[in-house]
């Protein structure tokens, strides 16, 4: 194998690995829906990046941004399942009213842990950090307590979260692309040994 062929193969493999690493740091985005209408988004980001600067890599940032209506910070607010690590003392920070409670609360069902607040405050955006959570990619979001005309006469209701359709390929897709590029390189160079 020639020196140039070897350098080319190393370059292709390094590029594939860098792209896989970059894709795996992508935030998890879920859309918030009431009666089939999207009213906001929830973004889960692994700690140490974005709004989580200064927090450990075992923290998960939660950012709720409403495009219609508001989040109701009274009673159960939002729930999480999966890699929340309840026994690792997960707690919400950067939120003054409220705390995390193990198990389901109110209209947030089948969740490992939920954020429970007090009073009747509402907000169009909510940001807090789950410390000691394992990974953002291993977490799922439950219902969110919202307020707005879309809730009907009661004024408040529980919206569902659905993973957003992403145009960013998953890390596995990038890995397949890298493997394909290496295969094409092998076919293009007859003397290249793979």
Pair (49, 122) in one structural domain: yes
Pair (91, 71) in one structural domain: yes
* Segments of the chain with pLDDT less than 70: 1-25, 48-52, 86-89, 96-97, 166-181, 183-194
According to the model, what pLDDT value does residue 155 have? 92
Cβ proximity of 33 and 61 under 8 Å: no
According to the model, what pLDDT value does residue 174 have? 58
Cβ proximity of 108 and 117 under 8 Å: no
Q: In what order do the strands lie in the sheet with 70-82?
A: 92-93, 125-130, 60-66, 37-46, 28-34, 156-163, 139-147, 70-82, 113-123, 99-102
Six-digit token pair at 78?
A: 């939002």
Q: Domain count of the chain? A: 2
According to the model, what pLDDT value does residue 87 have? 64
Beta-carbon contacts of residue 167 (< 8 Å; ≥ 6 apart): none
Pair (159, 102) in one structural domain: yes
**What predicted TM-score, i.e. pTM, was given to this entire model?**
0.69
Q: How far apart are CA 92 and CA 1, in angstroms?
A: 56
Pair (172, 91) in one structural domain: no
Pair (5, 93) in one structural domain: no
Pair (98, 186) in one structural domain: no
What element of type H or E holds 172? helix 171-188
According to the model, what pLDDT value does residue 113 have? 85
Pair (43, 17) in one structural domain: no
Pair (173, 163) in one structural domain: no
Domain that holds residue 180: 1-26+168-194
Pair (91, 102) in one structural domain: yes
């Amino acid at each position: 194998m020639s020196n140039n062929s070897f350098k080319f193969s190393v370059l292709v493999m390094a590029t594939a690995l860098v792209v896989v690493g970059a894709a795996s740091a992508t935030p998890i985005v879920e859309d918030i829906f009431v009666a089939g209408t999207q009213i906001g988004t929830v973004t889960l980001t692994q700690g140490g990046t974005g709004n989580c600067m200064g927090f450990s890599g075992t923290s998960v940032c939660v950012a709720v941004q409403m495009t219609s209506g508001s989040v109701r910070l009274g009673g159960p607010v939002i729930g999480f399942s999966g890699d929340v690590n309840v026994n690792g003392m997960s707690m919400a920070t950067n939120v003054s009213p409220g705390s995390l409670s193990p198990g389901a609360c109110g209209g947030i069902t089948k969740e490992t842990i939920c954020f429970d607040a007090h009073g009747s405050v509402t907000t169009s955006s909510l940001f807090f950090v789950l410390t000691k959570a394992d990974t953002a990619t291993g977490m799922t979001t439950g219902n969110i307590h919202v307020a707005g005309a879309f809730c009907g006469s009661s004024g408040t209701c529980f919206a569902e979260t659905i993973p957003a359709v992403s145009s960013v390929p998953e890390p596995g897709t990038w890995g397949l692309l890298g493997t394909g590029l290496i295969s094409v390189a092998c076919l293009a160079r007859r003397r290249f040994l793979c």
